[in-house]
Amino acid sequence: MNDSIQRLIPSPTELPHRRRNPLTGEWVQVSPQRVQRPWQGRQDPPAPQGRPAHDPTCYLCPGNERAGGQRNPPYEGTFVFANDFAALVPDGPAVLPAHHELLQAAPVAGQCRVLCFSPRHDLTLAAMDVADVRAVIDVWAEQVEDLGQRYRWVQVFENKGELMGCSNPHPHGQVWALDALPNEVHKENVSQADYFARQHSPLLLDYATVEIDCGTRVVECTDNWLAVVPFWAVWPFEVLLLPRFRVAHLPDLQADERLDLAVILRRLLRRYDGLFDTSFPYSMGWHGKPRTEGAEGWQLHAHFYPPLLRSATVRKFMVGYELLAEAQRDLTAEAAATQLRSVHVEQQQ
C-alpha cells in the first residue's frame, strides 16, 4: 500500500472503541478523535503555589489547635491522630430494621484517622526527600497492620488539592477502617479470585509483565515497582502503581522494597507536578488483601486518579454519558503515558 494512503487510515486505537477493566469487569469508552475539540467550558483558577512552612491558622500544623478543640503536639515527623469528624465510629448500631426488600440497610462500624506526612505545611510527597517518603510508607504499613487486626478493610488514601475536595492544604492522607468490604474492593476481590482460579497466578502480577513487555503505557519502572497508565484508564492521567513481585499487603513489604517504592513514588509525583507546572491534584489509595473469604490471588497495588485534562485549569468532569451510561475518555492511555514520560525529573535516588 502507498505510504501516503497508509497514513490516512487511522489505526484501531485512533477510532472509538471500548476497553475492559479486568479488575472490576467494567468497560470504558475511548474516543480519541475528540481530543482536538475546542474547550470553551469551565476553567478553574490555578491553585496557589506558595505556602509558608508553618501556618498558625492551619488545623494540622504542629502545636496548633484543631477544629475539634484538640491541640497538635510539636511533632517533627509523620503524625497520626483520630479524625475529629470521622465518617465511621467503632460502635455502630447492632442491627437495623428491614422495612422492605427494596429498602435495605446494614450496620457498619469502623475508625478514621488522619496522617500528616510532615510538620511542613508546604511540603507535599513530591517535594519530600526519599528518606521522608519512606517514613510515610512505614506509617502506612503500621496503620494497616494495626487496624487490619480488627477490621475487614483498611483504606489508606490521600486527597490532594482543592479540585479533589481537600479541606486542608497541609499535606496529609487518611486511613479508614471498617467491618465491611466497599463496592470497589468487592469487585476487585471477585475478579482477582476468579483469575487466580483459572490461571493459577495473580492477575496484577501477570498484568505488570504484559505492560513491561509492551512498554507504551509505562511511566516509571524500577527493579521492584511499575507505574503505568492502565489500558482501561478512566481519568486522563490515571496511574496504577504495581509491585513486580508477589505481595498482598503493605506491611509485608521488605526494607529494600519500601525504599524502592519511595523512589518510584517520588518520581511519579514529580512527573505529575511537571506535566502542567502545578502542584498536581489527585486522589490516590492503596488496595491490599482484605480480611475475607475467597481473597486468593490478591496483589497489592495503588490507584492514582488525577482530574486535570488539558492544563492546570481544565479538568475532566464525570457528567452526562459517564453518569448515565459508562465512563468515557478522549486521551488514550498510550498518549497520556507518553506525556508523563516526557516530563523531565532528576535521576538522583
Instruction: Please identify every residue annotated as catalytic.
Output: 172
Residue 84 is placed in which grid cell? 475529629
As a dihedral over the C-alpha atoms of residue 219, residue 222, residue 223, residue 226, rounded to 10 degrees, the angle is -30
Residues whose CB falls within 8 Å of the CB of residue 199, separated by 6 or more in sequence, listed in order: 206
State how far the Cα of 192 lies from the Cα of 187, in Å rounded to an integer. Answer: 9
Contact indicator for 307, 281 with CB cutoff of 8 Å: yes
Of 176, 187, 117, nearest to 148 (Cα)? 176
Query: How many angstroms separate the CA atoms of 95 and 113, rounded?
Result: 25
Contact 170, 55 (CB under 8 A): yes
What Å distances lie between residue 270 and 124, 129, 132, 221, 333, CA to CA?
10, 11, 15, 14, 19
Helices (H) and strands (E) in the chain, counts: 7, 12
Segment holding 282, helix H or strand E: strand 282-287
How many Å apart are CA 117 and CA 127, to the nearest integer?
11
